[in-house]
Structure 1
């Protein structure tokens, strides 16, 4: 960092005039408010590892719509529900491309995946396949037995720690559970166990960290050497190789099984088999789609479970209210059914409140496809757009006591997960919104209901519940910085 500052300082004397001159020639445009910036690096010095928090702080001074500059790249930041609706709801097509970097292209098979690939015919085809064959309501219902079996295994793992009152790492358990569910739904079997499974899970987590890392070379090209010196490019290559090795194994396994069984029984087909039969998607495209499903299916679910349990443990009153609802509905039965879950309105409120405070993806990224004027502001094509979902979820203009965990705010509320109302859009909105919401919520509801039904919870070493931290780990999805370690106490009389 010291070398970088010295280098920039030496250049300022001759670059500042050129930079200011260029800026003044674009002064006729009606730009959104902007905080002061430095030559060359723009507003990069005002960011932090937790970018969503830094942007919220800047927005408090400069308004819910700001124009920043990351190096020479214009960045539109939106941090209110009203502004998000005016920009994105009314002009969804203009804001339908996703941002990417050279490293993202490297990690996601040159943008042949569904999540990042540019909007167009190829993207529509991939989304149609993913929704129809994996993520539709009908498909999610067909995976019910998978969710139930994996939840039962999770509960047995937790129960085994009860006699010794050993602390359970719920963060790790949620990762493993979520990965097992999506692997069985997509691939037909688990992959999360053993050494290879642990390596794969760690590689996925590293992928999320890398994709959330600000590469200064993307915004100040002549500083791209920093990513080589600090080892960033090396980390990208390492995780790319590890993930590709795993995905190659999955593809080869399914190809071999297909050859052995001939054209076989369609009843035994899974998502990978269906992709392999589509000649319009090449091998890299298949691996990119599978990586999307694994990453999204694992991280969104585990993050939501992690934060829901964190908030319930920190707020015993709400935990007891949820327990009372679940236990009244389930009584002394072992298995919680879909009918039971449908009656649990407080459970749904707890999950929504968790998603409001801890959106799975804090920053929704878009890129403008063309020049556009919105709210009187002139926005150029290829402008990076960041919608701070995390900040909107805590905006006093939309929420009463926004920093407080209070599930009751969602009781008798029409707000849902579809992103129609921009003050609550934890999974995005419009054509580029997350298509896996139904699968994620189904898993979260079942696990959370079982955890509060069958166990009591306390912190290790006699720590007080209200002292449980809520520190965040930087990444595409916001996880806890510190693992969620809790001691379970089993309710034996409910297991009759």
Structure 2
């Protein structure tokens, strides 16, 4: 063996030894009090413990390591928050230190380099943009002023459903809801529709691909030397392709996902569907459109929406990033640490929600003083603090009146294929926003 080969082998052995021993040296020399951590592999850290459904696998890990858990994706520290108490300290006590969003190359490309309100850095620009949104675009007065648009587009959808009912044909309700929410938004923001009826083009698949990419974990962000893997697995090309579509429509995902899951759960629980139908028909006694003023009187509808947001939060994990060193529950959290608040896990804590926390039961909210504003940290479907979602009223206005009209006007059953079940499945799609994995195909019948 010549000297060059020996040097190559020595260098390789030294490099491998460094990779394996570095974490051990780091642990012994670091005097900070860090949160519990699962054992991690060299180079990739805890990435091997992730799955397609991070909110579920992180919940499982938290049951072993606790409500504050430190992971490493590559060399990037990730703090996972899985309890209401810890979430309160992050989003209230130390909110300003946790008000940044982590940036990834996917977010940079899809969301214009973090210049929009959801992912832009906390600072003067973000405060101005949020102020404009809250005071001008998303105020109660402005939301109310678009009631006629909501009514017109809901009636367009209802006419299609009536035709399907008359022909006894199944419909892809998920596609109908995608079109409805996108048409409402684009008429409000752009003054015209961009669906097929409006001379444009939208696709449920495009919107869902957008959310899937937004929730992806680009390897190159955590292990720069392995960035080539993102190219091989097609992540970069997928981002470039989605960028070519009109991505304004991604803002409607939360709305149609909430309606989609609500119809799913109601068809899975016919006793809840019947109770809601009775309420709606007792308030709205005529045979025409259910108005938004009538919806305001429907208490059980509000309970149903609350429960759907509990078991199916549109964004199951809220990302934050620490801007400066902070002590949290006795642990030292370094500046730059990324944070994942596991809303899905928090809203299923049995200590708060009881032994049936996994079950869909709207009545549980009768005795609970929780709302959608995030002041009770056991229930934060729209987040809380400075980075809480400013569009709650905008989304719920369309959700409530759409559900009221769908439930009042039709009886619903799932379109059953050969060897299929008579209830909708609960399979989840992959992405930042967890909608149904498969479209909700149903058969409506007029009452």
What TM-score does the superposition give when structure 1 sets the normalisation length? 0.84
Contact kept in structure 2, 1:147 and 1:443, CA below 8 Å: yes
| CA distance 1:10–1:218, shift in 2 (3 Å) | farther
Distance, in Å, in 1 between the alignment partners of 2:414 and 2:208 is 25
Residue aligning to 1:397: 351
CA distance in 1, matches of 2:13, 2:225: 15
Q: Name 1:281's counterpart in structure 2.
A: none
Determine whether 1:443 maps to 2:394: no
Q: Please state if 1:413 is matched with 2:417.
A: no
Of 329, 335, 339, which aligns to 1:385?
339
| Contact residue 345 and residue 411 of structure 1 kept, 8 A | no
Q: Secondary structure at the match of 2:155?
A: helix
Alpha-carbon displacement from aligned partner over 1:102-161 (angstroms, at most 9, x marks no partner): 221122222221111101110111112222232111100001001111111111111110
Secondary structure, counterpart of 1:161 in structure 2: helix
Instruction: Decide which moves more: 472-481 or 126-135.
Output: 126-135
1:236-280 per-residue CA deviation (whole Å, 9 max, x = no partner) reads 11212x13xx47xxxxxxxxxxxxxxxxxxxxxxxxxxxxxxxxx
1:427-442 equivalence runs, <5 A: 427-442=382-397
1:153 match: secondary structure: helix
Tell me which moved more, 477-486 or 195-204: 195-204
Compared with structure 1, are the counterparts of its residues 465 and 454 closer, same or farther at alpha carbon in structure 2 (3 Å cutoff)?
farther
- For 1:222 and 1:42, locate their aligned partners in 2 and report how far apart those are by CA, in whole Å: 14
Partner residue of 2:430? 474
Please give the alpha-carbon distance, in whole angstroms, between the structure 1 residues aligned to 2:392 and 2:175.
22
1:374 pairs, out of 303, 319, 328, with: 328
- 1:49-128 pair list within 5 angstroms: 49-128=52-131
CA-CA distance at 1:12 after TM superposition: 4.5
Instruction: State the 1:409 CA deviation.
Output: 0.9
The whole-number CA distance in structure 2 between the counterparts of 1:196 and 1:217 is: 39
Residue 458 in structure 1 maps to residue 407 in structure 2: no
Question: 1: CA distance between counterparts of 2:320 and 2:195?
Answer: 32
Matched, 1:486 2:432: no
Match of 1:37 among 37, 40, 45: 40
Deviation at 1:475, TM superposition (A): 1.1
Listed as ranges, the gaps of 5+ residues in structure 1 are: 1-7, 248-290, 492-496
The CA deviation at 1:87 is: 2.5
Verify: 1:203 aligned to 2:206, yes or no: yes
Q: Choose the corresponding residue for 1:314, options 268, 284, 298.
A: 268
Deviates more, 1:16-25 or 1:301-310: 16-25
Contact 2:194 2:201 (C-alpha < 8 Å) held by counterparts? no
For residue 485 of structure 1, report the CA deviation from its aligned partner: 0.7
Q: 2:179 matched to 1:192?
A: no
Contact 2:99 2:387 survives alignment (8 Å):
yes
| Equivalent pair of 1:43/1:71 in contact (CA under 8 Å) | yes
Q: Which residue of structure 1 lines up, in the alignment, with residue 284 of structure 2?
A: 330
Contact 1:170/1:485 (CA < 8 Å) preserved in 2?
A: yes
Tell me the residue number matched to 2:181: 178
Aligned counterparts of 1:445 and 1:465: Cα–Cα separation in 2: 28
Shift of 1:445: 0.2
- Secondary structure, counterpart of 2:62 in structure 1: helix
Q: Which residue does 1:259 correspond to in 2?
A: none
Deviations 1:421-473 (A, max 9, x none): 01111011111111100010010000101111000011223888764210100
The gaps in structure 2 that reach 5 residues or longer are 1-11
- Rounded Cα–Cα distance in structure 1 between residues aligned with 2:56 and 2:292: 37
How many residues are matched?
434
In 1, are the aligned partners of 2:138 and 2:391 still within 8 Å (CA)?
Answer: yes
Structure 1 match to 2:315: 361
Q: 1:461 to 1:87 in 2, by over 3 A?
A: closer
C-alpha distance in 2 between matches for 1:95 and 1:392: 18
User: In the superposition, relative to structure 1, how do residues 489 and 122 fare at CA in structure 2: closer, same or farther (>3 Å)?
Assistant: same
In the alignment, the residues of structure 1 paired with residue 161 and residue 117 of structure 2 have an alpha-carbon distance, to the nearest angstrom, of 35
Question: Separation in 1 of the partners of 2:318 and 2:90?
Answer: 13
TM-superposed deviation, 1:20? 2.2
Contact map agreement 1:360 1:477 (CA 8 A) in 2 = yes
